[in-house]
Amino acid sequence: MYADLFRLDGRAALVTGGSRGIGLECARALGEAGARVAISARSAEEGEAAVAELAADGIDARFFRADLSSPEAAKTLIEAAAAHLGRLDILVNNAGIARHGESLGFDPAVWREVIDTNLSGLFWCCQAAIAGMLAADHGGSIVNVGSISGFISNVPQHQTAYNASKAGVHMVTKSLAGEFAERGIRVNAVAPGYIETKMTRGGLDNPEWAKVWLGMTPMKRVGRPGEIAAAVLFLASDAASYMTGSILTIDGGYTLR
């Protein structure tokens, strides 16, 4: 009985930033659970490669190229994915970028890029998806990918823009959850710690950074994308039917002290 709660048969899901890393594993997890899947990314080459990789695992996914920094682009993506899938029950907002730099000399254009991609783009996708779910009157589940950087200020790297964007993701999650709970739409988030992805590879290859990151993680290792995808599957499924507005931290214990 309980295993069935994690099944997503008959449901349709879109994963933004789904061409690699956490996003790709989320698409795989949702597809394996029975959902029809679409992914989006900026790179057509990476997106098509991801679709081919999923197909090799028996998951039929559709790729949509999208830059989600504007409301119009987000609305276009959500509507296109829903049209292709027949409906949209699940949205996983994973698209994001990280930029490091000293705060006093931080480039305003880079600040806007980070906020537009990580926070504003996520909100525009939520806005469009929720509008569609309400119009179809079938409820839905949204899972946003936040970060431990929404709770703490990372060291030794300086990343004020990224931290601010992820703190915003957490509050957008809580705000939307409260606004639409009575309409059958659940909105939750995961807050990963340091995960083995292309985004973190540069930091892990830096001996100074890696020493601090692993030294401050009680489990003494970085996480795997699949460990985040499993939590996203849980939040998207009926196994989490009484959860909304939650930020699920998955960080090997990094934030426990």
Residue range 101-124: mean pLDDT, rounded: 97
Nearest Cα to Cα of residue 44 among 66, 73, 28, 21: 66
Percentage of the chain beyond pLDDT 90 is: 96
- The distance of Cα 220 from the centroid of its chain, to the nearest Å, equals 24
pLDDT of amino acid 202: 87
pLDDT of amino acid 5: 98
- The distance of Cα 108 from the centroid of its chain, to the nearest Å, equals 25
Q: Does domain 2-197+225-248 have CATH number 3.30.56.10?
A: no
**Is 68:128 a contact under the CB 8 Å cutoff?**
no
The structural domains of the chain, with segments of one domain joined by +, span 2-197+225-248
Residue range 132-146: mean pLDDT, rounded: 98
143 residue type, one letter = V
219 residue type, one letter = M
Nearest Cα to Cα of residue 65 among 86, 50, 87: 50
Beta-strand runs (E) in the chain = 12-16, 36-41, 61-65, 90-93, 140-145, 185-192, 247-250
User: pLDDT by residue (tens digit) across 10-58?
Assistant: 999 999 999 999 999 999 999 999 999 999 999 999 999 999 999 999 9
pLDDT of amino acid 257: 84
Q: Is there a catalytic annotation at residue 162?
A: yes
Between helices 44-56 and 21-32, what is the axis angle to 10°? 30
pLDDT of amino acid 198: 87
Q: How many Cα atoms are found within 13 Å in the side-chain-facing hemisphere of 218?
A: 8
Residue 138 has pLDDT above 90, yes or no: yes
The structure tokens listed for 27 are: 């698409």
User: pLDDT by residue (tens digit) across 189-207?
Assistant: 999 999 999 889 888 999 9
The chain-wide mean pLDDT, for the chain, equals 97
pTM of the model: 0.97
The model's confidence at residue 232, banded by pLDDT at 50, 70 and 90, is very high
pLDDT of amino acid 222: 97
DSSP class of 18: T
pLDDT of amino acid 194: 97
d(CA 234, CA 229): 9
**Is 116:165 a contact under the CB 8 Å cutoff?**
no
Q: Considering 2, 162, 194, 254, which one is annotated as catalytic?
A: 162
Q: How many Cα atoms are found within 13 Å in the side-chain-facing hemisphere of 85?
A: 30
User: pLDDT by residue (tens digit) across 64-105?
Assistant: 999 998 999 999 999 999 999 999 999 999 999 999 999 999
